[in-house]
Copies of this chain bind each other. A is one copy, B any other.
Amino acid sequence: MAEYKAPLRDMQFMLNDVLELEKHYQSLPGCEEATPDMVSAILEEGAKFAERVLSPLNQVGDQQGCQFNEGEVTTPDGFAEAYQAFVEGGWPSLAHDPEWGGQGLPESLGIFINEMVGSANWSWSMYPGLSHGAMNTLEAHGTQEQKQTYLTKLVSGEWTGTMCLTEAHCGTDLGMLRTKAEPADDGSYRISGTKIFISAGEHDLAGNIVHIVLARLPDAPAGTKGISLFIVPKFLPDAEGNVGERNAVSCGSIEHKMGIHGNATCVMNFDNATGYLIGPANKGLNCMFTFMNTARIGTALQGLSHTEWGFQNSLAYARDRLQMRALSGPKNPDKAADPIIVHPAVRSMLLTQKAFAEGGRALIYFAAQQVDRSKLAETPEEKQEAEDLLSLLTPIAKAFLTETGLESASHGVQVFGGHGYIAEWGMEQNLRDARIATIYEGTTQVQALDLLGRKVLMSQGELLKRFTKIIHKFCQSQADNEPMQPFVSALSRLNKEWGDLTLQIGMKAMKNREEVGAASVEYLMYSGYITLAWLWARQAEVAMRKLAENPSDADFYHAKLKTARFYFERLLPRTRTLAEVMLSGADNLMELDSEHFAF
């Protein structure tokens, strides 16, 4: 019953009008061929694939889940065929280097496609998503030979990849990991240990699986400074680079979990498996962090995906379901009742989802532009500027969009009433699937510490200032734009407050480090609301400009203005609570002895 339709109209609005992607691509060497027409054609093809191939498999994937049998994992019906079609369509290679078989298109384009793929079927999208992580690792740190052997197969989609980080006793705290790598005589390593929560660790979609594994060399220092990265393929490549001998890595079991049933979450056992060092010894964690930003944008996308999916389906239901009359009198007098979309409380849930979906899209696309710029901009200064902006926005995007994704998915269920709780409608699956996103790739709490502690305070507020300056400039540019004033005045006030709050917390943190942790989650969410306010104000500004041209699709732009108003009047006030709580200090959290939480 549930379905997904790619929001191409809104995507085009973001790309062409708000973020001026044509100008963006023209400014980056090597991206000139990503013309609006070409981008449009690619998006339309991606939309077809997402809507026709992946969306119909979303509920099947949840109901069947993955099956485990003696080390083998069978994915749900249709998953393998869809992956084959994905490979044949050339999608895995889209944004990769032609040297390894890629199409050399900008990374951002891959992200726009991933939005549709992920919204249509998040569980399925994780298989190529994890490959992408492995490809990034190899691309950044692999030797030429390693790239030739593994990267080309991943880029073509013939093989898939994984990232093997977590162990039973350590997830966030990777410094504690125990998996060992013993050097062998031939320059390879023997990897031993057990990894858990390995997404796509085993499956039947592709001929080989390339595991990127964090492990410790025998002489490695303790903690995070003694971790190295290894390639451990499921099948060792033979002399021709094809699938050869089976390696001593196997899937011990798969987890029974709340959602994302279509993706296999594996316990992976490495039993003296052959592995190859990537990058310098003991620098594995640093190597991983070089592309953590991109990986986290990938998870931020999950928040957007569930928001968009829930919005589309609950909107359809709210227009269709007849129940009660509008408080101001019947809107549908010929029928037994009005559609529930007449009720303000239902509208509030729909508009919340809509505002988070379209605001979140703008945030992810803006971040995607920074990914492009950080890689391809003309000068090192521009690259660094994009990198800095990205490093500030990444924890915000990851945590804020997955938290609002969870909230939105829950609203989607609520709009359906009792039917939302029933499996057949798909709404409860959307909520179950969404629940993991605030946890993996660094929990909201970890992102919050990263933002406030590492990014903002450790840079003495410098990284933040660069962003607030962008917002400030936007507000200045609108000083004479009368209809924009309701947006601009609120935004500009908050932008100033953001700096003030940061200063106050920074001062407190100098006396007590716990103040950082105590303020961090509220600080992050506050930052998210301002960031989206800026992006909604930008959308409003564009909509006003477009409306002045009397376009035939004026309704679209009016809807943008009304949604922007909703965002500013009903979501942005959440900053009031967040500001008050983040200043309330650490004592109210720290003073209760851990033994006295319950009696």
Contact = CB atoms under 8 A, between A and B. Distances in A.
Contact of A555 (B406, B556, B559, B599): B599
Interface stretch (A147-155, A443-451, A536-544): A443-451
B197 A418 contact: yes
B348 A521 contact: yes
Given A347-B589, A573-B577, 13 more contacts: A170-B323, A173-B322, A197-B418, A328-B513, A343-B517, A344-B518, A413-B439, A421-B435, A428-B435, A553-B599, A555-B593, A570-B589, A574-B577
A354 B597 contact: yes
A10 interface: yes
Contacts of A327: 453, 513-514, 516-517
5 contacts: A258-B421, A341-B594, A418-B440, A569-B585, A576-B577
Given A421-B439, A422-B257, A521-B348, A444 B323 contact: no
Interface stretch (A110-118, A467-475, A560-568): A560-568
Interface string A171-183: 1110010000000
Interface of A: 7, 9-10, 166, 169-173, 176, 197, 255-259, 311-312, 315, 319, 322-324, 326-329, 336-337, 339, 341-348, 350-351, 354, 406, 410, 413-414, 417-418, 420-424, 428, 431-432, 435-436, 438-440, 443-445, 448-449, 453, 512-514, 516-518, 520-521, 553, 555-556, 558-559, 562-563, 565-566, 569-570, 573-577, 580-581, 584-586, 588-599
A354 to B, nearest CB: 6
B345 A312 contact: no
Contacts of A432: 258, 428, 432
Nearest to A423: B256
B598 A315 contact: yes
Nearest to A258: B428
A548 B517 CA distance: 34
A146 to B, nearest CB: 29
B588 A581 contact: no
B171 A418 contact: yes
A517 B576 CA distance: 23
Contacts of A256: 422-424
A581 B562 contact: no
A410 B596 CA distance: 22
A173 B555 contact: no
Nearest to A197: B418
Contact of A406 (B311, B350, B410, B445): B410
A597 B315 contact: yes
A134 to B, nearest CB: 20
A424 B256 CA distance: 8
Which of A257, A315, A410, A598 is most buried by chain B, counting CB atoms within 10 A of its CB? A598
Which of A342, A410, A421, A562 is most buried by chain B, counting CB atoms within 10 A of its CB? A421
Contact of A435 (B7, B431, B438): B431
Nearest to A340: B172
Nearest to A222: B336
A350 to B, nearest CB: 6
A327 B516 CA distance: 8
Nearest to A558: B596
A176 B322 CA distance: 10
Contact of A520 (B342, B345, B351, B514): B345
Contacts of A577: 573-577
B345 A521 contact: yes
A439 B422 contact: no
A576 B580 contact: yes
B172 A592 contact: no
A202 B359 CA distance: 46
Which of A256, A341, A565, A589 is most buried by chain B, counting CB atoms within 10 A of its CB? A589
A346 B446 CA distance: 11
Which of A9, A516, A518 is most buried by chain B, counting CB atoms within 10 A of its CB? A518
A590 B328 CA distance: 11
Which of A329, A346, A594 is most buried by chain B, counting CB atoms within 10 A of its CB? A594
Contact of A565 (B170, B329, B588): B588
Contact of A414 (B345, B417, B444, B591): B444
Contacts of A445: 343, 345-346, 414
A14 to B, nearest CB: 13
Nearest to A517: B344
A512 B328 contact: yes
A344 B514 contact: yes
B319 A594 contact: yes
Nearest to A358: B598
A426 to B, nearest CB: 11
Which of A173, A345, A516, A580 is most buried by chain B, counting CB atoms within 10 A of its CB? A345
A173 B337 contact: yes
A580 B571 CA distance: 10
Given A439-B418, A574-B577, A592 B562 contact: yes
B345 A448 contact: yes
A227 to B, nearest CB: 15
Contacts of A420: 439
Nearest to A593: B555
Contacts of A556: 596, 599
